[in-house]
Amino acid sequence: MLTTPDERAVAGAFGSARGWTFPIVSHAGTTFAADMGYQGKELTFGPHKPGISTFEKRESGQVVRVATRSFGLGGDFFALWPMMEMLARGVNGWGPKFHY
């Protein structure tokens, strides 16, 4: 599941345009992103920081966060990055197709 600060209709259109089939939900108007540490004033990508969290539902019914990791250029979730460094202009000559 993906959460986004975009309104529901915008998030749905964004995912559909890319052929995504997983659930996308909006956290617009909530404190969810800030509570998870993915929103604030001093973050790498402006006020939002991409990342991933895993959760577990305990026998008591309580849902707890098990782990969290931020996404960033050259990080663990960018497995292609070492190959990108081999390009003639290096990683600085490459950028994502879409800008958010």
Domain of 23?
Answer: 2-93
d(CA 45, CA 33): 14
CB distance 1 to 22 below 8 Å: yes
**What pLDDT score was predicted for residue 37?**
85
Residue 12: inside a domain: yes
Residue 54: inside a domain: yes
pLDDT tens per residue across span 40-77: 776 555 677 788 899 999 999 999 999 998 877 666 77
Residue 60: inside a domain: yes
**Domain total for the chain?**
1
Residue 98: inside a domain: no
**What pLDDT score was predicted for residue 9?**
92
d(CA 13, CA 40): 26
Residue 99: inside a domain: no
